[in-house]
Amino acid sequence: MESIVDREDGLNLKATELRLGLPGREESEKETMASFKNNKRASPESAVADGSKGDFDAGDGDRETAPVAKAQVVGWPPIRSYRKNNFQPKKAEGEAGMYVKVSMDGAPYLRKIDLKVYQCYPELLKALENMFKLTIGVYSEREGYKGSEYAPTYEDKDGDWMLVGDVPWEMFMSSCKRLRIMKGSEARGLGCGV
């Protein structure tokens, strides 16, 4: 919070300060850093609304340190997500979504998701977590999804089963045929380094 000194003469210079970036940015960056320990990241809307895709490099930890101007606080403003999603750029006529089936070990039903809705791995993982009510955790190149008993995998064009996150996002988008959330020791086996 702004110190009392800033406001002693009632001017609150800090709040009316002209600068680039969002007001209270330092606060929000601290918050976003603190909150996003695992795979929670700045709300996807920030990236989409900007219309730019600066954030979508290959799966590495830097994903979470979004450029300043795009850093947004989770859950702010208080609008339910389905309201926000409605005004994302509509798919052009004729442009189909990219639906892939998602199965989870132990679940009776298959699900389908549209990969085009997501811009990067954390968004996809978050959506999977919400869909199946589980925690997948953070991806690391060496250890896969350590700390979770689930691992998201996908079947690629060659028919091989790969760990989600191993390849750059664009490559994943173009090669992913279906997803499978593995559970238990099979998941750990896949996540192990070499």
Partner 1 sequence: MSHDPAEMSEDDERPPPADRGRAEYADQVLENVLENVLVFLTCRRDRNSVSLVCKSWCRAEALTRSELFIGNCYAVSPARATERFERVRSVALKGKPRFADFSLLPPDWGAHFAPWASAMAGAYPGLEKVYLKRMSVTDEDLAVLARSFPRFKELALVCCEGFGTSGLAVVANHCRQLRVLDLIESEVTDDEVDWISFFPDGGTSLESLIFDCVECPINFDALERLVARSSSLKKLRLNRYISIGQLYRLMIRAPQLTHLGTGSFSPSEIVQQGDQEPDYASAFAACRSLVCLSGFREIIPDYLPAIYPVCANLTSLNFSYANINAAQLRSVISRCHKLQILWVLDSICDEGLQAVAATCKDLRELRVFPIDAMENNEGPVSDVGFLAIAEGCRKLQSILYFCQQMTNAAVVAMSNNCPDLMVFRLCIIPRYRADRITGEPMDEGFGAIVKNCKKLTRLAVSGLLTDRAFSYFGQYGKLVQTLSVAFNGDSDMGLKYVLEGCSSLQKLEIRDSPFGDSALLSGLHHYYNMRFLWMSSCRVTRRGCREIARQMPGLVVEVFSWNNNAQDRGEENDIVETLYMYRSLARRVDAPKYVEIL
Q: Which residues bind partner 1 (CB under 8 A)?
A: 1-2, 4, 7, 10-12, 15-16, 22-24, 27-28, 31, 34-35, 37-38, 40, 43, 45-46, 49-50, 72-84, 86-87, 90, 93, 109, 111-112, 129-131, 133-135, 137, 147
Query: Closer CB to partner 1, residue 43 or residue 153?
Result: 43
Least Å distance, CB 73 to partner 1, is 8
- The one-character DSSP state at 130 is H
Residue 128 Cβ vs partner 1, minimum distance, rounded to whole Å: 11
127: Cβ contacts below 8 Å, ≥ 6 apart: 113, 117, 118
Tell me how far the alpha carbon of residue 28 is from its chain's centroid: 18
Name every residue whose Cβ is closer than 8 Å to that of residue 107 and which is 6 or more positions away in sequence: 132
Structure tokens at 140: 């690391």
Strands in 111-114's sheet, in edge-to-edge order, are 111-114, 99-104, 178-183, 150-155, 161-163
Minimum separation from the CB atom of position 147 to partner 1 (A):
7
Considering only CA atoms, give the Rg of the chain: 20
Nearer to partner 1, 77 or 159 (CB): 77
For residue 171 the two structure tokens come to 């490559």
Query: 107 vs 162, which CB is nearer to partner 1?
Result: 107
CB of 86 to partner 1, least distance (A): 6
Phi–psi pair at 130, nearest 5 degrees: -65, -40
Based on CB atoms, which residue is closest to partner 1, 49 or 58?
Answer: 49
Min dist. Cβ of residue 168 to partner 1 (A): 26
* Minimum CB distance to partner 1 smaller for 48 or for 163: 48
